[in-house]
Structure 1
Amino acid sequence: MYLISSCLCGVNCKYSGGNNLNNKCLELFKEGKAILVCPEELGGLHTPRTPAEIKGSSEGILNGKDKIITKENIDVTKEFLKGAYETLHIAKLSNINKAILKEGSPSCGVNYVYDGNFNGTKIKGKGLTATLLEKYGIDIISDIDWKENNCGNI
């Protein structure tokens, strides 16, 4: 059983109101092999919403030092933390140990996130939910890596 970012299965929960449909992820869901989550919505944020980026790092956020802010400079760290912990709770309740997450997201990014300056610059790092899931022993892979590895298992 997989935990999958909802946007990858066509759910319109992306900050812009759209989705990032990945047909292979959708197949897993339709086969009953996945549970869908959107950490931002689980944290209480609306769709669509103002873009948000990490100022610092996810580890720094978990340690209370860094933040997630919107393009309008509004601190949404509390909502992102709530969503990350709710996602972890769902994974534990469902005995899930594998997740396919949307690359680049401040919640779900696995290999990179945006640099916090809202200029499109990507930096090496993980989103908050990805960091938390990994910290609790859940194997994570990005939608990009999963696709490039011919949809192999994680």
Structure 2
Amino acid sequence: MRKVLVSACLMGRRVRYDGRSKAIGDDRVARWREEGRLVVHCPEIAGGLPVPRPPAEIEPGATAADVLAGRARILTPEGADVTEHFVRGARAALATAREHGVEVAVLKESSPSCGSREVYDGTFGGRKLAGAGVTAQLLRDHGVAVFNEDEVAEAAGYLDAAERA
């Protein structure tokens, strides 16, 4: 049975920067839970960040690939560099995925860790741009298919196709 890595905040755990969760109520996710497929993980907690914590964004003009390559940082609004925590968390997520044989992940969109399609632009002005967070990028770089909370149907389709193959 193939496993699905899922952001802890999407499973109702209060691990987001503001101490909240963003639980999703999707029947497919509930079925995966019942089947024992879910591997619940928060890369930011795994990377050593507390709850609550200041928000953080990849610096303007940079990408998750730049952060992973050591060419860019992830900063708080006050300018604190939290890059090491995010990179450590991304590596922990990859290790967890490998340990459980995960091929599919459903992660929280817009996060500097978990964003799969878009992230905030680094100015803390609430603007988003196309791109990925560091965990989503690292997982993709190692063959894990990454989806966001609005793409559970697509993740289920990918999983079903992988199991039929």
TM-score scaled by length of structure 2: 0.88
Cα RMSD after superposing both structures: 1.3
Aligned residues: 152
Distance 1:135 1:143 in 2: 20
What residue identity is the alignment partner of 2:157? N
1:53 matched residue in structure 2: 57
| 1:90 alignment partner AA | T
Paired with 1:31 and 1:16, the residues of 2 have a C-alpha distance of 31
Deviation track 1:68-113 (CA, whole Å, cap 9, x = no partner) reads 0011110000000000000100100111111001010000000000
Q: Answer yes or no: is the 8 Å Cα contact 1:9–1:29 preserved in 2.
A: no
Measure the CA separation in 2 of the matches of 1:52 and 1:27: 33
Q: Which amino acid aligns with 2:94?
A: L
Aligned partners of 2:117 and 2:106: how far apart in 1? 12
- Give the unaligned 5+ runs of structure 1: none
TM-score (norm 1): 0.94
The percentage of aligned residue pairs carrying the same residue is 38
* Aligned residue number for residue 104 of structure 1: 110
1:144 deviates by 1.4
1:128 aligns with 2:134: yes
Q: CA deviation at 1:146?
A: 2.2
Q: Does 1:22 align with 2:24?
A: yes
- Structure 2 gaps, min length 5: 159-165
* Aligned match for 1:153, one of 144, 152, 157: 157
Contact 1:9–1:26 under 8 Å retained in 2: no
Post-superposition, which runs of at least 4 consecutive aligned residues in structure 1 deviate over 4 A? none
Look up the SS of the partner of 2:58 in the other structure. strand
Shift of 1:30: 3.9
In our comparison, the structure showing a higher alpha carbon Rg is 2
User: Partners in 1 of 2:74 and 2:31 — Cα distance?
Assistant: 32
Residue type at the aligned position of 1:35: V
Trace 1:70-109 onto structure 2 (pairs within 5 A).
70-109=76-115
